[in-house]
A = this chain, B = another copy of it.
Amino acid sequence: MMILRSAAPSPFGRKVRIGADVLGLAADVEFEPADVVDPNDSVRRQNPLGKIPVLLIEDGTAIYDSRVVLEYLDHRAGGGRILPRDWDARLAALRLQALCDGILDASILLIYEGRWRAADKHEPKWVAHQTDKVARGMAMLEAAPPALDATPDVGQITLACALGYLDFRFARRWRSEHPRLVAWLDRFAAQVPAFAATTVHA
């Protein structure tokens, strides 16, 4: 049995939970909540960065971050399923994952601005810098939404988690100006039951 240290709202943890389910490994993964702010939580001994998700496998190895965990799970499931072996498909999946991880990183920095700092210490230029990253990334994706494979790849899984995070933390505001991505996410949700099963409501 593997143990996934994560938290329900974590979009990076969600990538892993959806990936495990798509690969047929969900029953082998036990979810154990982690608190990344609590200094006594053992997650900081499992991953010195104190970040989630961390996957603990049977031999005691702690695997992180989400990209590495997804590659491990794909390997464990036989390989070439959510991380394509065909190079062109693999590069497209990796690049889409990097873009959507970057949208998530910028979005999380925006949330942290409110969580870690008093309102009078917010920095408008920083907020605009991060907001613009999200906006440019979303515009690029809306202009040419990616394919959605029968078995979604790591890039497609990450896009779904990024859109889900914007739903959760930013009041679904992205939807009005990104109708093609709304349609894409509807298809993803209809095809991948783990998406609805891991949705957290604000």
Chain B hits for A31, CB < 8 A: none
User: Are B126 and A49 in contact, CB atoms less than 8 angstroms apart?
Assistant: no
- What string of 1s and 0s marks CB contacts (under 8 Å) between A76-107 and chain B? 00000000000100010011001101110010
B116 pairs with A123, CB closer than 8 A: yes
Q: Does A71 sit at the interface, judged by CB under 8 A?
A: yes
| A48–B136 CB distance below 8 A | yes
Question: 21 A-B residue contacts at CB 8 Å?
Answer: A47-B99, A49-B103, A49-B106, A49-B136, A50-B132, A50-B133, A50-B136, A51-B133, A63-B95, A65-B102, A67-B67, A67-B94, A68-B95, A71-B94, A72-B91, A112-B126, A116-B123, A116-B126, A117-B121, A117-B123, A121-B121
How near does chain B come to A165, taking the closest CB pair, in angstroms? 16
Chain B residue with the shortest CB-CB distance to A133 = B49
Determine whether A75 belongs to the interface, using a CB cutoff of 8 Å to chain B: yes
| Chain B positions within 8 Å of A136 at CB level | 44, 48-50
Report the separation of the CA atoms of residues A25 and B19 in the bound assembly, to the nearest whole angstrom.
34
Residues of B within 8 A of A51 (CB): 102, 133
Considering the chains assembled together, what is the distance between the CA atoms of A190 and B11 in angstroms? 41
Beyond A48-B136, A48-B139, A64-B99, list 9 extra A-B contacts (CB 8 Å).
A44-B136, A48-B140, A49-B133, A49-B137, A51-B133, A65-B98, A68-B94, A68-B98, A117-B123
